[in-house]
Chain A
Amino acid sequence: MNDPALRIIEIQLLPALAVAAVWIVVLLIFLLPKREAGERKGGGAGFHGHSHDDSVTGEPDWAVPQIDATAGLTSPFHQWDARVKIAALIGYAFCVAFLQQLVVAAVALAASVGAIYLSKLPWRRPLARLAAMAGFLGMFLVVMPFTVPVAPGDTLITLPPLTAISFKVSGFLLALLIVVKASAIAMIMEPLLATAPFTVTVQGLSRLGAPSMICQMLLLSHRYIFVFLHEIKRMARSMRVRGFRSRTNLATLEVYGNFLGMLFVRSFDRTQRVYDAMLCRGYNGAFPTFFEFNATRSDWAKGFFWVGFGIALIVFDHLL
C-alpha cells in the first residue's frame, strides 16, 4: 500500500463526494425508467384488454409494445434499406463494443442518442432497454471499484478505520466504460429494429445469409412469445383466483413446476394445431414475401457513414 505511484486518499471528502455523486447519478439513470415502467403497467392499452396482471412475471407489460409498432413513421432510418441498415449498424455495434477509452465511448453514446432523435422514435423503449440492463450493469458499478487489483498510479479512496476495503477509481472507471458502451449499443438497437416491420428485418437478415430455417423460427417464435405472455397472465390470474400466493416454500415451487409443465403442454398443443393449419394453407417451408429490396445510393451512403464512423472511433480509441 506504500507504493509511491499510488494516490491514496483517506476520507478526503471532496473527491469522494464527487465520485459518489457521479455513481449515484448513473445508478439513478438506470433505476428510474424501471420504476416508471413498473408504475405504468397498470394503465395503457392492454393485450385484448388484460394488462394489469403481472404478479407472476413481475415485469412491465411487454405484451403490447411490439418491436415494430413504430415502423410506420418516416425518417432517414425508416427509409433505409433493411439489408444495408442491419449490416452497417451491427458492424458499428461491434466497433463500439471493443472501445477502450471512456471519452470515445461517450462519443458513441452521444451518436446513439442522436440516432434515436433522428429516427423520431419515442424515448420510452430505449429507456426500457437501459432499465433491462440495470441489474447487470449496476452490479458492475457496485462491485468493480472494490474488487479490481490495484494498478500503478491508481487513486484509492479509503475510510481510515477500514483500510482493507478501498474504493479504486480505476475499477470505477472500468465499470463506467462498460456501462457507457452497453448503453450506446442498446440505444442503437432501436433505430436498427424499430424502424421497419419485424418481417422485413428478418427478410433482410435472410438476404444477408442467415439460414432460412433460423429466420422462420425467429418469426414464429416472435409471434408465439406474445401469445404465451398472454397465456401465462391468464394462468397466473386463475391461480390467484384459486387462492395461490407465492411464498418461499416447497409448495410454491411445486406450483411453479406444474405451471411450467402446463405452459409447455398448452403451448405445444396450440403450436401443433397452428402448424397443421399452416400445412393446410400450403405452407411449404418458406413464407412468401410481398416486397423487393432495392438499395439506392443514399442507402449505401448511410451504410458507409455508420461503418466509417465506427472505424474512426476505433482508430481514435487507439490513438488517444
Chain B
Amino acid sequence: MHISDGVLPAAVSIGSFVASGALAAIGIKMTRPEDLPKVAVVTAAFFVAALVHVPLGPTSVHLLLPGLVGLLLGPAAFVSIGLGLTLQSLLFQFGGLTAIGANSLMMGLPALLAGLVFRLVRGKSLVSHVVAGALCGSLGTACAAILLAVLLATGGESFAGMAKLALAAHLPVFFIEGIISGFTVSFLYRVKPEMLGRQREHR
C-alpha cells in the first residue's frame, strides 16, 4: 500500500525526504559502479513484481517484496526501492509525489533490515537459506506495515483508526510474502546462487 499525496503532515513529509536522501546517499557510496546493472534490474523487477496479484480467497493481494529486494541487494536495497517507488509514483501514481520520501522509508528500511538478517541467519544449506528467505520476506512486509501505520498515525488522532486498519489489512500478506520469498530463494539457490552472493558449486 502506498501513501498518497495530502495525507502526511508537512514536517513528516519533508523530514522523510531528508532521511531518505541521506540513506540513499550512503547506499550509493556503498554501491560499486559494476553493480549498477544489478541494482537497475532488481529495481525494475521490484516494480513489475509489485503488479503481480496473488489470489486470496475471493480477493487478491499484491506483493510488496521489500524483503526479497533487501536480501538480493544488501546495502544498495534502499537506492533500488527509492528509485522503484519514484518511478511508480511518476508513471502510475502508485504513491504520491510529496510522499515519495515517506514511502521510500516505509519500504526501504525493512529492506535494509531484511538484508542484514538474511546475511546473519542464512547458513550454508538449501534448507537454512529457504528458512532465512521466508523469515526475511515476512519480516520485510511486517516492518513495512508497522512503518505505514506509524507514518499514518503521525497525522494525529483522526488517523489512528486508519493506521490500525492498515496494519490489520497486511496480516495475510505477511504469510503469503514469507512463503513466496522462501520459494524464490530456494529457486535462486538452485538455479543462480551467485545472485544470492554465493559461489556456484562446481560439479
Contacts and interface: CB of A to CB of B under 8 A. Distances in A.
Contacts of A225: 44, 47-48, 87, 91
Contacts of B195: 264-265, 268
Contact of A58 (B60, B68, B165): B60
Interface in B1-38: 1-10, 13-14, 24-25, 28, 31, 33, 36-38
A185 B97 CA distance: 8
A58 B192 CA distance: 29
Nearest to B92: A132
Contacts of B28: 211, 213-214
Contact of B157 (A59, A149, A265, A268): A149
Chain A's interface: helix, strand, loop or mixed, by majority? helix
B191 A265 contact: yes
Given A67-B91, A139-B165, A174-B158, A228 B45 contact: yes
A71 B39 CA distance: 28
Interface residues of B, number: 75
12 contacts: A97-B13, A148-B157, A186-B4, A217-B39, A218-B86, A222-B87, A227-B44, A253-B183, A256-B52, A258-B183, A260-B45, A264-B188
Interface of A: 56-59, 62, 67, 90, 93-94, 96-99, 105, 128-130, 132-133, 136-137, 139-140, 143-144, 146-149, 171, 174, 177-182, 185-186, 189, 193, 211, 213-214, 216-218, 220-222, 224-225, 227-229, 231-232, 246-248, 250, 252-254, 256-265, 267-268, 270-272, 274-275, 285
Interface of B: 1-10, 13-14, 24-25, 28, 31, 33, 36-45, 47-49, 51-57, 60, 63, 65, 68, 72, 79, 83-84, 86-87, 90-94, 96-98, 157-158, 160-162, 165, 176, 179-188, 191-192, 195
